[in-house]
Amino acid sequence: MTIEPASQPSTVSTGDARRDVRLARLPQLLSERIMVLDGAMGTMIQAHTLDEADFRGERFRDHAHDLRGANDLLSLTQPGIIAGIHAAYLDAGADIISTNTFNATRISMADYGLEDLAEEIDREAARLARKAADAFEASHPDRPRYVAGALGPTNRTASLSPDVNDPGARNVNFQELAVAYGEAARGLVEGGADILLIETIFDTLNAKAAIFAV
């Protein structure tokens, strides 16, 4: 089944001339062929078997929380690893690479005491992905490469209770989610994302908050 848009996407300027050119080409490319999105970021990171010190880097050496598993933070502490993953997917034929930001909202990053760095993480992750895409385009100018800014589900749900004994309880609301997603989206766009990818959200109210925010 083929789903076609009811109308052409907006061509309003983003303020970035090169991004405007890429986005102007996107509808035509989609009409000509299937475009390939990259694969998972998390499993690629796991292959590097990083330890706590790797996640911390020098900047977060004395951070009060354990940081192992904070994959999004690696865009700041291990940018070479993240850039290498992007390059590998581009070499494999991906037309679109996703930013390392699946959990990079202030709601999710609060588990690591990093909520105030969420927007910085999003911005830097998008910058890394865009740099990798630009490097690939330099040697393959006939096929533009796009960066999708990933907006994941967060670790809290607006429709479900975190306590099985209290079905009416909630640990996040729509407004808090919308603010967090809006902040993340701003960082992603400022960093160079072409597309915002709202992904893997099983709570429809969370998804609505993300859509509202962007």
Q: Whole-prediction pTM value?
A: 0.90
Distances (CA, A) of 10 to 13, 47, 142, 213: 9, 40, 23, 18
Confidence of residue 2 (pLDDT cuts 50, 70, 90): very low
What's the rounded mean pLDDT across residues 174-181? Answer: 98
Q: Was domain 17-25+35-213 assigned CATH 3.90.45.10?
A: no
Q: Are 37 and 93 in contact (CB under 8 A)?
A: no
**CA 180 – CA 139 distance, rounded (Å):** 37
128-159 pLDDT, tens digit per residue, is 999 999 999 999 988 899 999 999 999 999 99
Mean pLDDT of the chain: 92
Please check the confidence at residue 10 and state whether its pLDDT lies above 80.
no
- Whether pLDDT at 75 is above 90: yes
The residue type of 11 is T
Residue 32: band (very low, low, confident or very high) from pLDDT cuts 50, 70, 90: very high
Predicted confidence (pLDDT) per residue in 163-173, tens digit: 889 988 898 99
Q: Where are the domains of the chain?
A: 17-25+35-213
